Structure 1
């Protein structure tokens, strides 16, 4: 069984500049890390490797330095890695990102099962997984909180819905987006770091894709454009009060009453 796990390198800090012309994050020179939700996707795949002998490929879309998250996946037990990297992919929205990932996964050899994390911490859309499945032409399930059984033909799992949990059976090949907490992610191994130091990471550019039309990628292939983006205003203020307990309690009551908070509770 061939499993592909989609991972992403995201900023490790909230202090990230925005390009005013394109509305995209300026990632160069910014401290980065693996998207935390992807750790649960990796752990899910690694458990299938232990129980079913699956072969795992971790893929990511990003600049060349994104190889570091592939190397981290190697240290956790992933077998192969690939980067979809090309300047023409830059500025992709969720639709163009999903299309690029679909083209890249096909170019890398395809998969019986694609596993994604719930979402990324830099975009927070939780849309790429579903759109990727559509471009691959396979069924998908999001909000997966538990996996009961995996066979060579289908997977049985729990779908966490707002009011109840639904158990579904899905035919392979398919894509699943797992929830945080489905498993406890393992730590990278220093021994595996040494063992995989020379393991190659394949790089795919636009020229390697089945569809090499540049208008389908990057900003050109993104139907959504950022019109305006700005940081939120910092309105945090504080003051210190002194007095007896009764005086402070009455002062707090007047403040809450003036700001209409108490009226909402009446």
Structure 2
């Protein structure tokens, strides 16, 4: 297998893309993905309402808890194979509206302001990372949606913070039902053995990127595959933490 690691770089393509974006914004001014106010994809008023994830947290799963702990009761009941999971914000309005529009309404441009939230919080949650991978969609679902939101988030986040990434390091090997509405146990069973590694991860510290973390089941399934294939450690980072 050959590894196609992508490093952020200011190339003529990125400069051309920036010029094209500027022209597009001039002709079609962006609107806020949460309130529809013209001017930007995330207006200042909505950004001010963002609820950031703050300590105290469970050190393992990143779930807010009354007192800081290395392993909360949920992690004790269902241990995760990940080194840790962190998220930038809470899954509450307006972040929840932005993520919904990104995933289900074709608003793929919202990946940039959402990735910026991740980048802004990274200074607090940063960890030693060798390679960043997005959680993949099944090919059928990605064709229907037109893109994988986690790939877009990974691409923008890594460019903001300067981390190496590859977009196709993991593959979804079987179609799974949406996790929404499933219990924690059902979520784990739903995504079990649903991933395959497509890049060299031996001895590496891997960071998985996804949009929302609820129970961590999807990341746990992906992490298990990566660890079996030789990764030294696997951590997770999401835009939002659902409580």
TM-score class, shorter-chain normalisation, is: 0.3 to 0.5
What's the TM-score once normalised by structure 2's chain length? 0.34
- Return the index of the structure with the highest Cα Rg: 1
What's the TM-score once normalised by structure 1's chain length? 0.31
Give the structure with the larger helix fraction: 2
Give the structure with the larger strand fraction: 1
